[in-house]
Structure 1
Amino acid sequence: MEWQGDILGPGFESCAFDAAGADGIRRRATLIRFTPPDVPDTPNTPDIRSGGPRRAVLFLHGWSDYFFNVELARFWDAQGFRFFALDMHNHGRSLQPGTPGGYVADLGNYDAEIGTAVGMIAESGGAEPVQLALMGHSTGGLVAALWASRNPGAASQLVLNSPWLEMHGSALVRRAAWTMVEPIARLRPEAVLRLPERGFYWRSISSAAEGEWALDAAYRPPLAFPVRAAWLSAILAGQAKVARGLGITIPILVLLSAASENGMVWNEEMRRTDAVLDVNTIAARAMSLGRSVTVERIDGALHDVFLSSADVRDDAYGRLARWIRGYAA
């Protein structure tokens, strides 16, 4: 495996690799790392930023997304963590010609590439163990929570940024959706479901519209990738597992907007709310994750709280730093 210069420019490197899942299929994923020039990238070198044990964080993006938030990487570095992000298969840097963007038939299919990435992070620390924090956004938050529950002891902290833990409204909506989607997923897993398309969240974050973030349209399309039957079935199955309780024992932080705005027509409140998820439902479902769960509700936050306006981001970063001092220092 060879590290190369990344699309984010100086200070970032990426490494593409293949990982074989439990089904025997090899899938392409890409690990990205932040390598600030003042920190030597040499095994067995003490972490000069914290003076404590070697610490790292692995970030998992959401659906139809990829890692691009340089500010987030710099924040974690300032907290004394080596920063890594994973562009999972069929997403971002890992997209392959002829493959369906965003598609996965079972969320467990991500396990092999996450496990490989964690191994690469551990090797970067040489002989000294690395204390790992796992961070996920939206669908990546659901994936991170499920992975942590299946791999106890692999991570020391779990940070979830607007995780997609439940469908809008209630579990009844999820169960109703399951009865309609599951037969299609079983017979025609890659069938595209004709669902309403809304680009409101993209509009609020992209510098090509009314946001401030430069997004690659191939990696983060305005209307997201097509919704396929097996993908939605996999999401619903993962959410059902969360509803039954995951029993995660490590400290968990869940960051959410204070409000949602999920209408079918654009309105200005979508600049200051979660235009994707039902945050009240997510806040309640978060209690099913484990024994130690902290929920932070942030006024004015978007679906990705760390893509919100600068003052809201400052609030979110302050809350995250406080939690890190309490649970990871």
Structure 2
Amino acid sequence: MEWQTDILGADFESCAFEAAGPDGVLRRATLVRHVPHQAAGGSGPRAANGSVLFLHGWSDYFFNVALAQFWTGQGFRFYALDMHNHGRSLQAETPGGYVEHLDDYDAEISKTIEMIRSCDPLGEAPGPLTLMGHSTGGLVAALWVSRHPGTVQFLVLNSPWLEMHGSSMVRRAAQTMVKPLARFRPKTILRLPERGFYYRSISSSAEGEWLLDDKYRPPLAFPMRAGWLSAVLSGHTRVARGLGIDIPILVLISGASANGMVWQESMRHSDAVLDVNTMAVRAMTLGRTVTLERVDGGLHDVFLSAGPVRADAYARLARWIHGYISSGPQPEPPAGLERGGTGDMS
């Protein structure tokens, strides 16, 4: 296991690895860790509250330096996984973002957790593990926890994609149409309207404040393929049936959605990707202990929202951490969370 300085700069390291799923296929993934102010050979900060592992959304990668700084400031060790066919793990011979079964992520997530628990430089007990997921990564995280009870102690979901827009009827209709194609020609690209509204609201190359690398996160996302959509719809079906997760869960979503085929100014302060009311309903099927936080003015990723909204989202997350995970006085969130920061992307 070789850690190298990551694209985000000196406070981050990354390690590429391969994991074989039940089908025997080796898939490449990349683990990123936050090592603030760690000199060569240093031991890094103590983590009184254990570790957190972050899973990005579809057609995305980990770049949010402020998110890592927040978790480290709250007494956690922070890790993020660029899953196979995404971000740092992209390979020329495989289609970006593609997966035929969401369970195909299981092996790399399991191996990542083994790596986290084996690389503690201070020899501390591993402590509790918090799994955090955004959008499709939130769906993957929830399904993974439901299939691996006892492995993760806390679950945090940021605008998780738990259902199709509107209702389960929309999902069932989509499944009927895509299933035959997914079975016989799974990598067929679906010709659907492309919208770059969310990218427009977050990227500093458009009208946002976040420095994104377009080769890792393309403005119009990766092409949507039949097998991938079928995998997501199957995941939604499992969520709708109830996952029975028996650990504390936090779900953060925007206060409103803004959908449509033309740009609206409301997309600067709402979720332009998912139906937040549908997500709120589906969140209640995840388990018995679910906290739902609506962040007024939030974007699809509430931690990429405008400064004051982002600070509110972090405050809500800190309050939940203090209530469920941490012991002792509540630490102050790191300064500067109102400002976007993505480190050195050179």
1:59 matched to 2:54: yes
Instruction: Give the corresponding residue for 1:285.
Output: 282
Give how far 1:130 is off.
2.8
Structure 1 partner of 2:103: 108
Correspondence for 2:128: 131
Q: 2:199 aligns with which of 191, 202, 208?
A: 202
1:319 partnered with 2:319: no
Aligned counterpart, 1:265: 262
* 1:148 lines up with 2:145 in the alignment: yes
Q: Which runs of 5+ in 2 are unaligned?
A: 327-346
8 Å Cα contact 1:62/1:140 also seen in 2: yes
The 5 A counterparts of 1:8-157 are 8-37=8-37, 48=46, 52=48, 55-125=50-120, 126=123, 128-157=125-154
CA separation of 1:41/1:186 partners in 2, compared to 1, >3 Å: closer, same or farther?
farther
Q: Deviations over 1:77-133 (max 9, x none)?
A: 000000000000000000011210000000000000000100000112346233100
Q: Does 1:191 align with 2:188?
A: yes
Aligned with 1:84: secondary structure? strand
Counterpart CA distance in 2 for 1:130 and 1:240 is: 33
- Percent identical pairs in the alignment equals 69
What letter corresponds to residue 158 of structure 1 in structure 2? L
Q: Tell me, what secondary structure is at the counterpart of 1:11?
A: strand
How far does the alpha carbon of each residue in 1:252-290 deviate from its partner, in whole angstroms, 9 at most, with x for none?
000000000011100100000000000000000000000
Q: 1-side partners of 2:298 and 2:201: how far apart? A: 11
Which amino acid is the alignment partner of residue 79 of structure 1? Q
Are the equivalent residues in 1 in contact too, given 2:11–2:38 (CA < 8 A)? no
Distance 1:119 1:75 in 2: 23
Is 2:164–2:171's contact at 8 Å kept on the other side of the alignment?
Answer: yes
Q: 1-side partners of 2:2 and 2:158: how far apart?
A: 30
Match of 1:179 in 2: 176
Q: Secondary structure at the match of 2:128?
A: strand
Please give the alpha-carbon distance, in whole angstroms, between the structure 2 residues aligned to 1:11 and 1:130.
22
2:337 equivalent in structure 1: none
Q: C-alpha offsets along residues 209-245 of structure 1, whole Å, 9 cap, x if unaligned?
A: 0000010101110100000000000000001000000
TM superposition outliers: structure 1 runs of 4+ over 6 Å: 39-43
**SS in structure 1 at match of 2:284:** helix
Q: Please give the alpha-carbon distance, in whole angstroms, between the structure 2 residues aligned to 1:57 and 1:169.
A: 32
Q: Secondary structure at the match of 1:32?
A: strand
The structure, 1 or 2, with the larger RCO (C-alpha pairs under 8 Å, 6+ apart) is: 2
Q: Determine the structure 2 residue equivalent to 1:216.
A: 213
Which whole-Å deviations, capped at 9, do the CAs of 1:151-200 have from their partners, x for residues lacking one?
11111100000000000000000000000001000000100000110000
Q: What TM-score comes out, normalization by structure 1 length?
A: 0.96
CA drift at 1:150 = 0.5
Q: What secondary structure is seen at the aligned counterpart in 2 of 1:300? A: coil
- State the alpha-carbon separation in 1 of the partners of residues 161 and 124 from structure 2: 36
Q: Which residue type is aligned with residue 61 of structure 1? A: H
Equivalent in 253, 258, 268 of residue 256 of structure 1: 253
**Where do 5+ consecutive residues of structure 1 fail to align?**
none
Contact 1:39 1:48 in 2 (8 A): no
Contact 1:165 1:286 in 2 (8 A): yes
AA matched with 1:37: H
Match of 2:260, SS state, is: coil
CA contact (8 A) 1:135 1:160 kept: yes
Report if aligned partners of 2:102, 2:231 keep a CA contact under 8 Å in 1: yes
Q: 8 Å contact 1:35–1:41 — kept in the other structure?
A: no
Q: Over the residues paired in the alignment, what is the CA RMSD in angstroms?
A: 1.4
Number of residue equivalences: 324
**Residue identity matched to 1:55:** G
Q: Which residue of 2 aligns with 1:305?
A: 302
Structure 2 CA distance for aligned equivalents of residues 39 and 161 of structure 1: 32
